[in-house]
Amino acid sequence: MVEPFLEGLSLQEAMDGNRIFMVNLEILSRLDHDQIPSPFALFFLNGKKNLMPIAIQLFQQKGDDNPVFLPSDPWYTWSLVKMWYNNAEAQYHRACSLIGYTHLFIEAVAVATHRNLSPSHPVFRLLAPFIRDVIPLNCFELNELLAPGSWVDKVTTLGSQGTLNLLSLGWQEWRLDVQGCLPKDLSTRGVDNPEVLPDYPYRDDSLPLYHSIENLVRTIVYNRYLDPDILRNDSELSAWSRELASDGSDGCSIKGIPGDGLISTPDELVLVLTSIIFVSTVGHSAVNTPQYEEYGYLPNYPAVLRGSPPRDKSWREESAILACLPSKSVSLDIMLITKLLSEKHSYGLSNLGAQYMYHPDDVKAWERFIDDLRGIAHTIQDNNRKRSTVYDYINPIKTLWLDVWHGQTER
């Protein structure tokens, strides 16, 4: 079926050569929503080192009304199928990648931090600049963008309730030590090896930033907790980590906290703090700042489509594409809000707007961290000169030292 698109390889040969990649949005099939597909797609790494879609099935269950669409299908039919696939992915992006795995995750950390750590605690001082804006920002998100009848309700296929339902499903699967830990996330998804997938700017730019954050965190943690007994006897830190892992109304329900909330070694604390800071800065910037460039051209990444996903391979005309696109007013709403959400006018990873750490060793660690960021920024700029498409979404210079959250518009 797909071998005509494999440049002379059999499917098995392409798989053995690590040139086949799959995205499976099965999670969408668990929603009670008949207008959103739950697709999976195959991609082939061609000779030019570009990932190309070679097969898309829009729903999970096999059937005569659920064909596998191919690039050899009629052009407008194939284009329509790709639009519906991207529509499904756009729902996942907003609900899980953006709102759930960054905004609400960091809000949970912020609440636990303010409840359990005194302002003089070294972990509070380390986290404070990265969590200070999230609670008022999320109030805006929930009340102005995600409430019934608000923007998400009007301009996305799932609407506000469907978005919250998908977020809830995604949160059940997210783990801090997997999806929240960049090296583990990349290896779990099979995209960690540059020799297998050469052109992956997010991986290549974010890994140095992750390790720089990790080095900063390790220095500060080792300054205080090199002796594990000191860590285990820190009652504030123990209460904080328990709340992160606890379920129910008195906990954050974050999976993957070492020891199910009983952090017992300095390296376990380094993992948790590195993941929190990375997600709130680099991770958030990667899923937030591209919004306008992705969503702004509606056929590219449609937040909402009219009608129903195609169920057959019959010939389509351009009119079928146009009939699926939202009205002009809805399109303008999508363009306007995603443009505002993508703006980069906030404090960042190193420009904190205030001094939080005063211990001489911590100050030196912070200065080394800033020097690392400058070096990484220059490396990213050099890489972008060689790339076919510039990737500046997590460049410390281009994003004002890595936006922690959105912009002044939201605050």
Spell out the domain ranges in the chain: 75-385
Residues 246-261 have pLDDT tens digits of 997 789 999 999 999 9
**Residue 214 pLDDT exceeds 90:** yes
Give the pLDDT of residue 142.
84
* Mean pLDDT in residue range 278-287: 94
User: Judging by beta carbons within 10 Å of its beta carbon (0-12, 13-18, 19+), is residue 36 exposed, middle or buried?
Assistant: buried
pTM of the model: 0.93
* Mean pLDDT in residue range 137-153: 90
Give the Å distances, CA to CA, from 5 to 43, 87, 374.
10, 24, 43
Q: Give the distance from CA 360 to its chain's centroid.
A: 35
**Residue 332 pLDDT exceeds 60:** yes
Residues 159-183 have pLDDT tens digits of 999 999 999 999 999 999 999 999 9
**Residue 358 pLDDT exceeds 80:** yes
Contact 19, 44 (CB under 8 A): yes
Q: Which of 44-58, 128-142, 195-209 has the lowest mean pLDDT?
A: 128-142
Give the Å distances, CA to CA, from 133 to 103, 112, 229, 332, 347.
10, 15, 33, 28, 10
Tokens of 351: 């420009």
Map residue 65 onto helix, strand or coil: coil
Q: Which amino acid is at 330?
A: V
DSSP-derived letter for residue 28 is: G
Q: Considering the chain, what percentage of its residues have pLDDT values greater than 70?
A: 94
C-beta contacts of 146-150 below 8 A and 24+ residues apart: 146/99
pLDDT tier, 407 (very low <50, low <70, confident <90, very high otherwise): very low
Superfamily of domain 75-385: Lipoxygenase-1; Domain 5 (1.20.245.10)
pLDDT tier, 409 (very low <50, low <70, confident <90, very high otherwise): very low
